[in-house]
Amino acid sequence: MSDECLEGLACTYEFAPSGVLPTVDPSLTIKQWLLSASAFNRYNAFLHKYNRPITVIGHTGSILSAAVIVGPASFGRVAAIVQPFCSFIGAPSIILSLRVNLLRLVLSTFDFWYGSITDTVCCVCYAILFQDVRIAIMPLTWLGYVFSMCVDANLRDANETMGNAIANAGCMMFLGLACALQIIDDAHQLVLFSSWKRSLSTKEVLLNGLGILLIWMVRTAVRKRQCIERRKQTQQCTNQMISYRCKLILLVREGGIQSSVNAVRGGRGKVLSPVTSKASPKQVQLKHIPIPVTIKATRLICRRLFLGFEFIRTRFSRTWGRVLCLSILYGVGLVGITTTVLVTLRLRDPELPNWLVITSISTTIAFFFVIAGLCQTNILLRLSSSFDAVFLSLQLQLAIICVCDLFNWDWRATCAVLSSYFWLQLVLVLDALTPVMRHQLAFDLRYATIVLVLAALGQVALTLELMVWDNWELQDRVLVDREVFGRPMVFRVVPFLFSRMLTVFLWCMRLVWRMWTRDHPSELILLLGNVEYVYKSNRGQQRPYQWRRQTTVTRRRWKVWTKVTQTTLRATRIEPTPVVVDTGEERTPNTKQSSKSMRW
């Protein structure tokens, strides 16, 4: 009976890119694009000759940046004058080595702009804290963190890139501790707003921004480590992109055989080459890294839910049974979202009926668990390991806890906040609904934009309540009030909540944009696919001819000198004299050793 009921879901899917991936030229750097051939060769020769001094000066500038922030103000003002010169010497070589076409792909990603805006906010907060000559380190510091987010456009050694990401993460943690412990000398606090018993200062904004950048740097290091492991397994010169990823769809397998995505789509993608006259065309095709997962639509979290729907449909006619099931399901959902909005608007109303609060939380939980129970198992596991889904879910949970604390854990407010959480969490698991299940439920992903828009409006209203209106008299409790190394460390609820709400708001708008700009009905909104390309950097083509010739001659001389040295050492090697026990017999000379010495 169960197998017959599940025949309507007898489909097998695979992850595939939603469109043709672009074709790029990874060999074209910014210096190749801007400089002429002679200037290009002279610049490379200069870099090769003074590479070590430039590297040392650049690291010195990084050390001076940390010293300016945590050192005494008198020393920091002097070091802030020297630091820009040190950083500026190494900055052009790093910027000009970026790949033009790969940089264009990175600039089109949400991750880059989200990290860049956060980095900008942190640098502005540092400038407000200093308010003197120490702000001179901010432009190049900002540029350094932005460059770390352009990791896909930098084809340097993978281990070096991973090391830079780890170093940046450690620097973020160090700066966050320095700001939290108030180690910065002669720092000026600026209160951005103050209302009733709540306030928000630049220090608290800076701490939250550094926390987000720390998570971003750790993510970059982890993904780069995965790229290194994959390169070792494939034994190929593959370069996996970290920031740029492709949109995914659920493609039906025909006859249970995995289809070739590249063959299905055919052709080559859009060529991203702004200049073709200054670089030899060396186009490579970006490829989607296949995900070895077999997605069977019949593997549901709770198969009994679908069997229950089928049982109701068999009791009535095929059409009327489906109409009855969907009417009950979406009726419960409509009641849940309507009562949630009503309860949220009347949280401080003493005449708010309790039955309305109970109805909102019960219908919301019922609708959530029905939809979640019809999700596909493998896709849901994939979502649980996705950075985007985990990051957004974690930010949402922290925001919900802070809002409940603002209302002093009032049970009506807690129920309303939990209802909102379940509705937003429902949006995060919609990717796990297979296309055939969406067809059975007559569900479109664009319906979820109602939840996202209502959540965004609720966050705006809560922000205005905390900053301007102050009608609900919400509390701002101290989360942490400790002394660490003799320094006070204080964290409050409202500043922490503001950062979480801003993050959730931006990601909600991103999901709304993804839902309304889909190119395919089965395109996923949260899961993205990893992209790679096969390319081996030929550094010899980027070096001047005279330098390559000199290098070749030097290598030949080194080989000849090494061979002569090895021959000399082998000929002059002294063999150990054997220990002979004196038995009174006459010794015979070692003819082999004497003949060797004679030949020599």
Pairing mode, strands 287-288 and 531-534: antiparallel
What local confidence, expressed as pLDDT, does residue 367 receive?
93
DSSP for 129-156, written as a single string = HH-SGGGGGHHHHHHHHHHHH-GGG--S
What gap in Å lies between CA 247 and CA 29, rounded to an integer? 27
pLDDT at 476: 77
Assigned token pair, 365: 């939980």
Q: 238 forms bridges with which residues in the sheet?
A: 534
CB-based burial, 424-436: b 16+ in 10 Å, e otherwise: bbbbbbbbbbbbb
Neighbours of 179 (CB within 10 A): 23
In whole angstroms, give the CA distance from residue 439 to residue 454: 25
- The rounded distance, in Å, linking the Cα atoms of 455 and 199 is 24
- What is residue 140's predicted lDDT score, i.e. its pLDDT? 80
Calpha distance 154→448 (Å, rounded): 38
Helix (H, G, I), strand (E, B) or coil at 349: coil
Using the structure block, give the residue that is written with the tokens 């900008």.
Answer: 120
Tokens at 53, concatenated: 């001094």
Residue 175: name the closest of 87, 70, 68 by CA: 70
Domain extents in the chain: 26-235, 300-527
Query: Which helix (H) or strand (E) element contains residue 452?
Result: helix 449-464
- Residue 13's Cβ-count burial label (10 Å; 0-12, 13-18, 19+) is buried
What whole-number distance in Å separates Cα of residue 7 and Cα of residue 440?
12
Beta bridge partners of 376: 300
Q: For the chain of 600 residues, list the mean pLDDT of each consecutive stretch of 10.
A: 56 88 86 85 85 82 80 84 82 83 89 87 85 83 81 72 67 74 77 73 83 84 80 76 89 59 41 41 82 86 77 69 84 92 85 90 93 91 90 92 88 91 93 89 86 91 82 76 71 84 90 87 89 69 39 56 64 49 44 39
Structure tokens belonging to residue 525: 């909104």
SS3 203: helix
> What is the number of alpha carbons within 13 Å of residue 349 lying toward its C-beta?
12
- Token pair, residue 512, equals 């709304």
Q: What angle do CA 381, 382, 383 make, to 5 degrees?
A: 90
Amino acid at 117: I
Q: What is the pLDDT of residues 545-594, one digit of tens each?
A: 333 444 454 556 556 666 666 666 565 554 444 444 444 444 444 444 44
Distance CA 344, CA 347 (A): 5
**Cα separation of 190 and 188, whole Å?**
6
Helix extents (H) in 255-353 = 261-265, 303-315, 318-345
pLDDT at 260: 42
End-to-end CA distance of the chain: 94
Q: List beta partners, residue 240.
A: 532
Question: For residue 115, which amino acid is it?
Answer: G
What is d(CA 437, CA 8) in angstroms, rounded to the nearest whole number?
A: 9
pTM for the predicted model, two decimal places:
0.77
Instruction: Tell me the β-bridge partners of 533.
Output: 239
In the sheet where 295-296 sits, what is the strand order? 295-296, 12-17, 246-252, 523-529
Q: Which residues have CB under 8 Å from 174's CB, separation 6+?
A: 66, 70
- Torsion over CA: 336, 341, 342, 343 (sign): positive
pLDDT at position 483: 72
361: tokens are: 């939380």
Burial 323-342 (b: 16+ CB within 10 A, else e): ebbeeebeebbebbbebbbe
Number of H helices and E strands in the chain, helices first, is: 22, 14
Q: Is the dihedral of CA 322, 324, 326, 327 positive or negative?
A: positive
Residue 385 DSSP class: T
DSSP 541: G
Question: In sequence order, which residues have a C-beta less than 8 Å from that of residue 499 and are 6 or more positions away?
Answer: 205, 208, 209, 211, 212
**What residue spans of 235-287 are helical by DSSP H?**
261-265
Strand partners, 17: 248
Q: Which element (helix H / strand E) includes 117?
A: helix 110-130
Give the distance, in angstroms, between the CA of residue 487 and the centroid of all CA atoms in the same chain.
Answer: 33
Distance set, CA 166 to CA 66, 203, 596 (Å): 16, 24, 58
Helix intervals (H) in 374-410: 377-384, 387-406
Nearest Cα neighbor of 216 from 154, 177, 165, 164 is 165
The residue to which tokens 């400790």 are assigned: 482
pLDDT digits (tens, 9 = 90+) for 474-494: 777 777 777 766 677 777 888
User: Which helix (H) or strand (E) segment is 484 a member of?
Assistant: strand 478-484
In the numeric block, the tokens 């970026």 are attached to 98
Please state the length of the chain: 600
Token code pair at residue 312: 């109701």
Residues 501/463, Cβ–Cβ less than 8 Å: yes
